[in-house]
Amino acid sequence: MRPSRVTRKYQQKIREYFQVIPNGKETRPIMINILTEAAKVKDHPPDLINIAIEELVKSRCELPSFRVLDELTGQIRRAVNKELFQLVFSRLSNEQIHSFNELLIKSINQHYSDYNRFKTLPKKPTLKNLRNHIDYFIWLQSYGDMTPFLEGIASSKIKYYAAEAKSLDAAELKDYSETKRITLLICLIHQAQVKTKDHLAEMYQKRVGTIHNSSKEDHKEIKEQKQNELENLISIFNDVLLIMSSDNDDAVIHEKVKETIASYGSVQTLLDKCEAVASTKGNNYYPFIQKHYKNSRSILFRLADLLQFTSTSQDQSLMYALEFVKENRNKRTEWLPDEVDLSFASEQWRRMVRVKQKDEGWLIHRRHLEACVFSCIATELKSCIHVSDTF
């Protein structure tokens, strides 16, 4: 039912008073432009409608009916998506198009097509799962870098397309037009590569964390075990002090002290016990790291090679140290020349890594340096070390 002449008159007065552009021929191009730009970034219709309403209000445009806005949103969304699908498709050769289509075809020996592997989720960071996930990442990388195909497409849009592809099975995806099907596949592969790299970085952190936690437990256990030895040493020291406080002359005291010590074992045995107890003082668990690090060493090196850590700060000392340990990973000697800047490491690490030898001066303990570098990278991974957009 059309509004009466009086109603239209008052509506016009209100528009003029608030300086609002009436809904119609003037606002439609504005709506189309807003929705077109929004559809390049967003994909869900409710998001597009909300953006359109917000921008129309800012532009002082009278809002259309919801039905008109909903229909226009759908039309523009489909047009923009079709344009993006065609853009990606135009960048592919016939061989590449064929290889992407082959992903949806199951071979005789397979229960599922390769397309299903792109949906693999990470598991707990055990050594076995880490090895499997590294192999999975290498398999993903064998498809090459998807970034050139997706150049100019917003990352949020790529995520929407990847999520849509992930929610479908191969049969459903085959029903799509070829341009849409291939674009969704490329987005899924791209996101799988990015996410898997993030998962590996996270698993790397957790693996190093496990090494440190196990070392702390060992330190705590040894500390408790050495408590009895500490009490025995205190008892020996108490007996020696009692003899020293007696009124006997020095020669007698000396002989009695020797007899007392001999009754508890040789001097060397007692010195070894003192050294063992002293090694557990404080909270320095770093000497126990090597026991657990050696089991994860090859995995950590593989991850360092794959993840290609880079520093986001001007201080490159940690990255130089990483290159140094990579270059020397196959050396059999435990000692390396003192050629590494350890400014990135804590004082505890520096005391363990850089050791003064009697005849050769300062040298670097290779295995301790490796553990130190991998530990520092895990600590700095979210602040100063870059792996991907997440890390």
| Residues paired with 337 in a beta bridge | 363
Phi/psi at 390 (5° precision) = -85, -45
Per-residue pLDDT reduced to its tens digit, 169-194: 998 999 999 999 999 999 999 999 99
pLDDT of residue 147: 95
DSSP state of 379: H
Per-residue pLDDT reduced to its tens digit, 118-132: 988 888 888 898 999
Give percent of the chain with pLDDT exceeding 90. Answer: 57
pLDDT of residue 211: 95
Helix (H) or strand (E) holding 354: strand 354-357
Residue 391 has pLDDT above 60, yes or no: no
Per-residue pLDDT reduced to its tens digit, 42-74: 999 999 999 999 999 998 888 899 999 999 999
Per-residue pLDDT reduced to its tens digit, 288-333: 899 999 999 999 999 999 998 888 888 899 999 999 999 999 998 9
Residue 242 has pLDDT above 70, yes or no: yes
Residue 278 has pLDDT above 80, yes or no: no
| Residues paired with 61 in a beta bridge | 21
Give the range among 13-27, 33-47, 62-76, 98-112 with minimum mean pLDDT: 13-27
Helix (H) or strand (E) holding 338: none
Over the chain, what is the mean pLDDT? 87
